[in-house]
Structures are given as C-alpha cells and as structure tokens.
A and B are shown apart, each in its own frame.
Chain A
Amino acid sequence: MEAIELLLLLLKLIVFPGAIFCIAYGWFLEWFDRKLYARFQNRIGPLLTGPKGLLQPFADFVKLLAKEDITPLGADKLGFTAVPLLSVVISLFILLFIPTYSLTGVLSLPGDLLLVLFVSTVFGILIMFAGYFSGNRFSIVGTERTGLQFVAYEIPFAFSVISVAAAARSLEIANIVKYQTVNNLPLIVCTPIAFVIYLIASLAKLEKIPFDIPEAETEIVAGWQVEYSGRKLAFFRLATDLKMVFVSGFAAALFLAGPYGPSIPGLEPLFYTFWFIIKTLVIMFLLSNLRSLFARYKIDQVVQGFWKYLIPLAVLQILIVEGLIFLGIIP
C-alpha cells in the first residue's frame, strides 16, 4: 500500500473519525446528557469548568487519572487490571464500523452488523468479569445483577436490529444506510416498534435509570465498580461514554439514514458530519428524557418485563416487516 494511503488510514483511525474524535464526542455527549438531566429537574448541571461546563467530563477524567489506584488483596491481579483496558479497546473497535461522514465507517465488511452486535455483547460479559475479579461482597451482588440484566436486554436488542436488517435485506451497515438514502425512506417509518424496543434495551445496556440496578447507589454502593479507583475507574467511565456514542450512532445509522441529509455538493463530509451530530443528539435527548422520567426497577421485574413484553413485540415487528415486504409496500 502506498505511503500516502497508509498515512490517510492512520489519520482516519486515530484522529477522525477514529479514536480522538470518538473520545471527544463521548465527552460531549456526557456533558449534553448531564445538562439535559439537570434542566429536566429545574437545576443547572455542570457550569463552571469551561464555557457552560463543557470541559466537565474531561476534568473528571483527568482528576480520576491523578487519584490513587488501589488493587485489593483479594482481587485477581491480571483480570482486575485487564478489564478496564479491554472495555475501552472494544468500544473503540466497534465505533470504527459506524458511518460518521460517509456511507461506511472506517472499516466495513459484509456481515458487519452481526460482528458489531457480537462485540457489544462481549462488553456486557466484561462487566460481569469486572465484578467477579474484585473479590468483594458488594461487587458479587452487582455481578449477579448484571448477569441477569444481560440475559434480559440482549435478545430484544438483537431482535430490533434484525428487524431493520430484514427490512433492508442486508446484513451490512453500509448497505442499510444506502437502502435508506436510495429509497428516501428512514427505516424508523417502517419499523417504529423496533425503534422503541431499541431505545429501551439501550437504556438497559448503558445501565441508566430505570435499569441501573447493577450500580444502584443506594443499595449496594456502586455494585461492580466499587473496588475500582484511579486510572481504572477513569477508563471504565470513558468506556461508558464511548458506549453512548456507539448506541446513538448505531441508532442513527439504522433508523435515521445515517449521516445523510440535505447538503451543499462539494462540501459533503462537513455537512454529513453535521447531520450525524444532529441525529445522535436527538437520540441522546430521548434517552435523557427517559432517564429522568422513571424510578429504578427491581431485577426480577426487569427480566420478567423484558421477556414477557419486549420479546413478543420484537417478534411481532419482524413478522410485520416480512408481511409488508411480501405485499410490496416496502420497496
């Protein structure tokens, strides 16, 4: 491969839309989420670090890096240290597949929808390992709860994504986005139920209220995160922010026609990035709104609710989509 292409690829991987852009955008989304959450409650939210508190997540990250990093005696040293690093690496990896300014992300393969789904599942398993390797009573309870919640939300999440793939008749993210732009039909119109299920399941995936049971602050003192401090905790929080980018970017690609929208020919990448940001902000608005609206459920209610209501709805959605394709309503 030529040197200039290699350089371009490295630039794409590291700066935009690779690691630095994703991390910075993750911090921006965390700021947006916290400000909205505060505004819903008639409060101010972060205010003083940077203009309007924009640098607050960055300041939190830097502060945590400077804190003391303690490994408890009862913890499994290798696993304890590896889990935060692996979480960040995996989040950055799946972010490479999300289209940010063009049809494809930095990487694209046929069937990459399933690859992305699988790797995001690994994230949930990593959280269980994080609690297990800590060797603390509270984290074991947190691990139990994460495991149960994992069983609950992964299947509806996968089903909602599959119904979108069924409508677009492809398992490649680039093709799904192309289908939406070619037919001028954002798939949220064809699969609205899948969109709702996706939002609810992603609340559970990100461990936000009403599904933040694994790290319920008032009950088990931060659950699986309780023994992590300093650098490791900083990386866990960074991984959570990157997951937020992933969830909203993925939703934008699948349901809202990716980064496409009206633009000036010639300046395309700029405008597409702009539309990508707008769409992910809309998804974050919905998630923040849902987050401030509910109390926290109990773990048995979550598992029952997801299996009794969401999975049948997801299956129904797939059947509806197939029916609509058969009748020729969806092109």
Chain B
Amino acid sequence: MPMPGALEKELLKHIPKKPATEMYPFVKIEVPEGYRGKISFDIEKCIGCGLCAKDCPAGAIEMVDDERTKLKKRPKFIYSRCLFCAQCEETCPRKAIKLTQEFELADYNKEAMIIDV
C-alpha cells in the first residue's frame, strides 16, 4: 500500500543545497546570443523601401521623410508597441535592422520609447 511521504529524501537533500532562485536584479542574468531584445537600426544601410513597416504585425514602424536614404524615407521605431518578433530583421533586404540582447526596457515615459535616428 503506498505510504505518504515519498518526497522525504528529496526534501532533506535540499537543505544544504544552494537555492534555485536567481537573485535578479542584484545579479545580472546572462541571455543567450540570438535573444530577441531591443531593435538596433543602422541608417547607413537603409534604402527606405518601407517593407519593414508593411510587415510589422504591431504597427511599431512608421516611415518618415529623410534625405539620407535612396528613396528619401526611413523607419521610425516605436518600441513600446514592439512584439520583438524579428520579422523586420528578416524582411529588410539590406540587413539594416538587428535585434540586440537588451531586455531591460521599462520606462516611465512612453514618448521616450522611440528610436528616431
């Protein structure tokens, strides 16, 4: 007949072990490479085609006028709406958009969460 208390050995083994809790935010967490964090944009490579804005599912990219690109437009990223899906990184024909490993993006001010180079 099964007795209660099947976990006892496991419990006693845990007392001398280090706890499994990560002491974030006092200890920084390492994220793997390939992690989808904040967007980084390189204006040098952009041609202004607007494909990233067409493909963004969340409406986080808007095209604004700019003289520096070939088609005279460039994207403006509103990363408070961003889903971090990396579709823009995939669609961009010149690889101008990359997702970095930064994930501590909380802010008090929604207007400050815009990348507008």
Contacts and interface: CB of A to CB of B under 8 A. Distances in A.
Direct contact, A vs B (beta carbon within 8 Å): yes
A43 B20 contact: yes
Contacts of B19: 38-39, 42-44
Contacts of A210: 4
Contacts of A293: 4-5, 7-8, 11
Contacts of B20: 42-43
Interface residues of B, number: 11
Nearest to A297: B4
B11 A40 contact: yes
A326 interface: no
Nearest to B23: A44
A294 interface: yes
A41 B11 CA distance: 7
B17 interface: yes
Contacts of B21: 43-44
Contacts of B28: none
A42 B11 CA distance: 8
Interface in B51-106: none
Interface string B2-21: 00110110010011010111
A294 B3 CA distance: 11
A289 B4 contact: no
Contacts of B5: 293-294
Nearest to A41: B14
A273 interface: no
A320 to B, nearest CB: 23
A41 B20 CA distance: 9
Contacts of A294: 4-5
Given A44-B19, A44-B21, A39 B4 contact: no
A39 B15 contact: yes
Interface in A272-308: 289, 292-294
Contacts of A41: 14
Contacts of A292: 7, 11
A155 B117 CA distance: 77
Nearest to A294: B4
A294 B8 CA distance: 10
B7 A39 contact: no
Interface in A33-63: 38-44
A200 B11 CA distance: 19
Contacts of B11: 40, 289, 292-293
Contacts of B4: 210, 293-294
B17 A42 contact: yes
Contacts of A38: 19
Contacts of A289: 8, 11
Interface in A237-278: none
A43 B11 CA distance: 12
A174 B19 CA distance: 43
B92 to A, nearest CB: 44
A39 B11 CA distance: 8
Contacts of B7: 292-293
B24 to A, nearest CB: 12
Contacts of A40: 11, 14-15
A289 B11 CA distance: 8
Nearest to A40: B11
A48 to B, nearest CB: 10
Interface string A148-188: 00000000000000000000000000000000000000000
Interface of B: 4-5, 7-8, 11, 14-15, 17, 19-21
13 contacts: A38-B19, A39-B14, A39-B19, A40-B11, A40-B15, A41-B14, A42-B14, A210-B4, A289-B8, A289-B11, A292-B7, A292-B11, A294-B4
Nearest first, the 10 A-B pairs at minimum CB distance are: A40-B11, A42-B20, A44-B19, A42-B14, A44-B21, A293-B5, A39-B15, A43-B19, A294-B4, A40-B14
Given A293-B4, A293-B7, 15 more contacts: A40-B15, A41-B14, A42-B14, A42-B17, A42-B20, A43-B20, A44-B19, A44-B21, A289-B8, A289-B11, A292-B7, A292-B11, A293-B5, A293-B11, A294-B5
Interface of A: 38-44, 210, 289, 292-294
